[in-house]
Amino acid sequence: MSDTPALEVTGLEYAYPPHDGVPGFRLTVPAIAIPRGGQALLVAPSGGGKSTTLALIAGLRTPHGGCVKVAGQDIHALRGAARDTFRGRHIGMIFQSFNLLQGFSAAENVAAALLLAGVPEREHAPRAKALLASLGLDRPGALVENLSVGQQQRVAVARALACDPVLVLADEPTASLDPANAQAAMDLIESACRARNAALLCVSHDPAMQARFERVERLELGVAA
């Protein structure tokens, strides 16, 4: 089982229909395989389908062709609550704008991921606090809106890693940060994933990001039939 890739994508296709005079186009991902602990960058121009690809991999959108396997499971073979539960337990997601729950503490934001994954409630607080502490955040009870940008990033990373996922998807995680914070954020994301042997697939249109990754994949777009 340990040889099973964290992520295996084959022949993935998704077609965008024409809209408001804009021609339709087709997104294709011929093949991607990332082992446990592996890291890869997926690049395309702004608006080139990067976020859609992550949504397809996470099972948040349904592809028009191809297969996505996470830890050997075809995620699109699952339906409804079964897919949601699988996602919560096996896939962590880091968003450009963090998407933290305002009015809730750092620990409560992390606990929300544990709740969605079906982790027993008695484990939420201790696991959230321990994970935040391991990432250098010693204010688990602080409301997220009262934290600095760098601290909010740590909460977002902790939430993504809360359930020990096999795969972490990062959608333009540094796009809203200045260069210094962007470098620190990527250092944190990459090192945290390595420490937990989670595969990382990051998407970005920033050319500077390519120097950080030994492996870079490029999306293919074409005109939809």
Query: Could you tell me the CATH number of the domain that includes residue 171?
Result: 3.40.50.300
Q: Does residue 18 fall inside a structural domain?
A: no
The chain-wide mean pLDDT, for the chain, equals 90
The per-residue pLDDT for range 173-212, each reduced to its tens digit, is 888 778 888 888 899 999 999 999 999 999 988 888 899 9
pLDDT tens digits, residue range 78-114? Answer: 999 999 999 999 999 998 888 999 999 999 999 999 9
Domain-embedded: residue 165: yes
Answer whether residue 1 shows pLDDT above 50.
Answer: no
Residue of 101, 112, 110 whose CA lies nearest to 134: 110
- Count structural domains, the chain: 1
Q: Write down the pLDDT at residue 132.
A: 95
Per the structure, the complete domain to which residue 188 belongs is given by: 35-56+77-216
- pTM for this structure? 0.90
Task: Say whether pLDDT at 146 is over 90.
Answer: yes
Q: Report if residue 10 sits inside a domain.
A: no
Distance (Å, rounded) from C-alpha 105 to C-alpha 125?
11
What average pLDDT does this structure show over 152-166?
93
